[in-house]
Structure 1
């Protein structure tokens, strides 16, 4: 297992992007088509998207705090890991990004922080398989 990426939620998407570009020499790169509806950027180092920046919107009490949204870990063995989560009755949700050949599982720790398990595996054709809702 290795750290895959960190996602930062911010009300200043462009300022945060510029900060990471300037301070860490990261460059803006492509994002999968399935997530382009979410405002933000993927920032790359050595050809890998290591910092994901997403928007945090709202005002007053409804404004989401600026925070690290989630951490992604790169793993191997999607089916085995998913079976383990099922066996342990750990809720999760799925996301397949066919255009970049990745499958992802999202789960929460007992205290609530979100984790993302990233697998470099081809996405199979659509099947009647159901998704598990993340609690």
Structure 2
């Protein structure tokens, strides 16, 4: 397994973006169309987007001003085998295919609640709809 990315929710997108650009020498890069529906930035280390920033609404009492939203990982093995493992273990999950990147993603929670995103470099079926699906 490899680390893929860290996603942070923030109420101050521009300050957070500037912070990561200046402190970690990351640079803003383009996000896939399906992701652009959410306010935010992808910050790259070379050609890899390693920090994802998501904007939250000011005054949202259910969310802190700044919080880690989820961690992306790249498990060993295939997308289908990983889904089968989650099903066998009774772990609910949701899916997202990013056609532009030819990536398939599986979102699931740890027992304590934090969200993980498993990312797989596997071809997205051509008849695919880019809607999220839930197990």
- TM-score greater than 0.5 by the shorter chain: yes
Work out the CA distance in 2 between the residues paired with 1:86 and 1:18. 41
Equivalent pairs counted in the alignment come to 131
Give the unaligned 5+ runs of structure 1.
none
- 1:49 corresponding residue in structure 2: 49
Detail structure 1 runs of 4+ shifted over 4 Å in the superposition.
Answer: none
Work out the CA distance in 1 between the residues paired with 2:22 and 2:72. 23
> RMSD of the TM alignment (CA)?
1.7
Work out the CA distance in 1 between the residues paired with 2:60 and 2:21. 30
- 2:29 corresponding residue in structure 1: 29
Partner-residue secondary structure (3-state), 2:134: coil
CA shift, 1:127, in A, is 5.8
Give the unaligned 5+ runs of structure 2.
none
- 1:132 corresponding residue in structure 2: 134
Which aligned pairs between 1:1-135 and structure 2 lie closer than 5 A? 1-59=1-59, 61-62=61-62, 64-65=63-64, 66-75=66-75, 76-126=77-127, 131-133=133-135
CA shift, 1:74, in A, is 1.1
TM-score by length of 1: 0.91
Work out the CA distance in 1 between the residues paired with 2:103 and 2:44. 17
Closer/same/farther in 2, CA of residues 83 and 60 from structure 1, 3 Å limit: closer
